[in-house]
A and B are shown apart, each in its own frame.
Chain A
Amino acid sequence: MSAGGSRPSHAIELEGVSFVYPDGTWALRDVCLAVPEGGRVAIVGQNGSGKSTLLRHLNGLLRPSAGRVLVRGRETAGVPVERIARQVGLLFQNPDLQIFEEQVADEVAFGPRNLGLTGADLASAVMEALEAVGLRGLEHANPFNLGFSRRKLVALAAILAMRTPIVALDEPTTGQDGRGLGLVEEVVRRLADEGRTVLATSHDMRFVAETFERVVVMREGAIVADGTPDEVFAPAAWEVLRSTHLDPPPAAVVGGALGLGSTPTEAQLVAALRERDARYG
């Protein structure tokens, strides 16, 4: 807890953060976002809306042009990235900018080794992470010989192995097939169960609706909607969503039409449709 004592414990706080790239691009505009410890937040928005830029502020890779970033109550200004890395693990959008070792196991071990893990602790952190992303057995493979989706999973394992209390995932679902998607969903759920804080960006609205408890919508560097999936995918918010070229997940559209709310489960949808069938058919 902070000295004031009144502040609830937040994993991440962005206070009026704006960011301008050296070439003059305004990528973030007065962003305010507080994520409680153990929170599960999805960040959505069209290409170029500032999602990656926001995530890169969480571990200090980018520093706000204006405003403050706090990680677990402590301001990050002046703290080097490699120190913040003990609190915040960041999965890069492009795995090829992250992977550089020649063996999957070495790649996954890089982070925890930097954090001081050795011997059996290191080995178990690596194995656990590889298990979580379904890559057990590929320890000795060269990551660059794996396809994109599996390279992305290697990069994800490399972040998980660091066992940071806060995990930021930049588009973990890109390029994943059904199985990969399932693995990523499972990873996010497990992190949340362990009480760790998860922030993720995604273009997959179904993944977002089913896996996160809160959705933040960005447009042109600003937050334009922030709420539960139910609220953000409700028909009333579709206009805002579409203004940033996002479509609500099909389940939300069908659910809205059937009066089931905007995040019905598949089973609820099927039951409702069956009932209608029985009534009118």
Chain B
Amino acid sequence: MSGPAPGAAAAGRERRRGRIGWLEQTLAGITASIEHAVFTEQHARERGFLQARDPRAKLAIFLALVLAASLSGSITVLAGLYLVVLAAAGASHVPYRYFVKRVWLGIPLVAGIVVIPALFLVPGPRLFDLPAGPLHVAPSLPGVVGGVIFVARVGVSVSLALLLVMTTPWADLLKSLRALHVPQVFVLILSMTYRYIFLFLHTVNGVLQARKSRVVGRTSGAEQRRWISGTMGALVNRAFKMSNDVYAAMLARGFTGELRAYSTYRMRTTDWAVLAGSLTVAAVGVLAGPFLP
């Protein structure tokens, strides 16, 4: 069995069978795509604009732009930031369709839950009033504007994060955290989390497949939810044991808790220039935001 293949293959098979619950399909799809995109570091190893930058510069740029996005209440600034992100993604050979779809299809799931009540609860003039039985569907203008800005902010931040992760090998990312004086313990926990997530996803996929091969008939939504919640406990347990084992295996190879660096980086002129440019963009965004729609 090879790494990402089983997840992807299983997802495909499930889609063809057509009577698999969306929950399982989403899980299988997410695990397969995360594994493929992040874990194989397929894009991080390409020769693109961002891949060539010093990871420390990239991390600093990322932090500055995310800060700008979260401070900004202006849709113009957010749109501008997103354009910068798209341009950088293009220059780094990150496939647009994949990049755009991943982010904006995923966000409604998360942000929508937070935003939808706000659309109706925020006081202000109503956009329209649609009577639906005893209820009135009447979103308020400030509620909708707030919702759009919230979704845009999340979208831009997630895009930035995805771009950073996709164009930087994980080990380099961790090393640059150290360079920014993030405590060693924190970096270690992060590095363990990464291993842990991977193993966790594998377990999820394995369990789903094992279950699939045992469940012949149709299962109801309620049954599926019960199964998922029951399984989650067992999975967390198993993943915890796994991460313990992985750590044991590292100790068994003489690991003393010190991350050793393999590639050494040097900030080049381009890195400094890109860093300065991004910091300017972030500053302009934050400062100009209040004067823009």
Q: Please judge, given known A-B contacts A61-B251, A145-B3, whether A100 and B169 are in contact too, CB under 8 Å.
A: no
Q: Of residues A100, A109, A111, which shows the largest number of chain B Cβ atoms within 10 Å of its Cβ?
A: A100
**A5 interfacial by beta-carbon distance below 8 Å:** no
Contact B39 A114 (CB under 8 A): no
* Smallest CB gap from A83: residue in B: B254
Q: Which residues of B, 238-267, contact A by the 8 Å Cβ criterion?
A: 242, 245-246, 248-256, 260, 262
Contact A144 B40 (CB under 8 A): yes
Q: With a CB–CB cut-off of 8 A, which chain A residues contact B271?
A: none
Cα A101 to Cα B163 in complex, Å, equals 21
Q: 0/1 per residue, A102-114, Cβ < 8 Å to B?
A: 1000100111011
Select A102's contact among B1, B170, B202, B254, beta carbons within 8 Å: B170
Contact A96 B169 (CB under 8 A): no
**A59 interfacial by beta-carbon distance below 8 Å:** yes
Contact A114 B248 (CB under 8 A): no
**A267 interfacial by beta-carbon distance below 8 Å:** no
**Shortest distance between the CB of B207 and any CB in chain A (Å):** 15
**Shortest distance between the CB of A142 and any CB in chain B (Å):** 5
Select B251's contact among A81, A96, A97, A162, beta carbons within 8 Å: A81
Contact B260 A85 (CB under 8 A): no
Q: With a CB–CB cut-off of 8 A, which chain B residues contact A98?
A: 246, 249
Cα A94 to Cα B203 in complex, Å, equals 14
* Smallest CB gap from B195: residue in A: A100
Cα A144 to Cα B36 in complex, Å, equals 10
Contact A100 B246 (CB under 8 A): yes
Q: 0/1 per residue, B147-161, Cβ < 8 Å to A?
A: 000000000000000
**A169 interfacial by beta-carbon distance below 8 Å:** no
Q: With a CB–CB cut-off of 8 A, which chain A residues contact B3?
A: 142, 144-146
**Shortest distance between the CB of B188 and any CB in chain A (Å):** 13
Contact B2 A146 (CB under 8 A): yes
Q: With a CB–CB cut-off of 8 A, which chain A residues contact B248?
A: 61, 81, 97
* Smallest CB gap from A158: residue in B: B253
Q: Please judge, given known A-B contacts A113-B260, A114-B260, whether A162 and B40 are in contact too, CB under 8 Å.
A: no
Q: With a CB–CB cut-off of 8 A, which chain B residues contact A111?
A: 253-254
Q: Which residues of B, 1-34, contact A by the 8 Å Cβ criterion?
A: 1-4
Contact A102 B41 (CB under 8 A): yes
**Shortest distance between the CB of A63 and any CB in chain B (Å):** 12
Select A145's contact among B2, B169, B249, B256, beta carbons within 8 Å: B2
Cα A109 to Cα B254 in complex, Å, equals 12
Cα A80 to Cα B262 in complex, Å, equals 25
Q: Please judge, given known A-B contacts A142-B3, A148-B1, whether A90 and B254 are in contact too, CB under 8 Å.
A: no
Q: Please judge, given known A-B contacts A96-B199, A147-B1, whether A102 and B253 are in contact too, CB under 8 Å.
A: no
Cα A106 to Cα B45 in complex, Å, equals 15
Contact A147 B2 (CB under 8 A): yes
Q: Which residues of A, 37-88, contact B by the 8 Å Cβ criterion?
A: 59, 61, 80-82, 85-86
Contact A81 B1 (CB under 8 A): no
What 18 additional pairs, Cβ within 8 angstroms, besides A100-B246, A102-B41? A59-B252, A85-B251, A89-B252, A92-B245, A97-B246, A97-B248, A100-B198, A100-B250, A109-B262, A110-B253, A114-B255, A144-B2, A144-B3, A144-B4, A144-B40, A145-B40, A147-B1, A158-B253
Among all A-B residue pairs, the 3 with the closest Cβ atoms: A144-B3, A114-B254, A111-B253
**Can you list 9 residue pairs at the A/B interface with Cβ under 8 Å?**
A61-B248, A81-B251, A85-B253, A94-B245, A97-B242, A102-B171, A110-B253, A144-B2, A144-B40
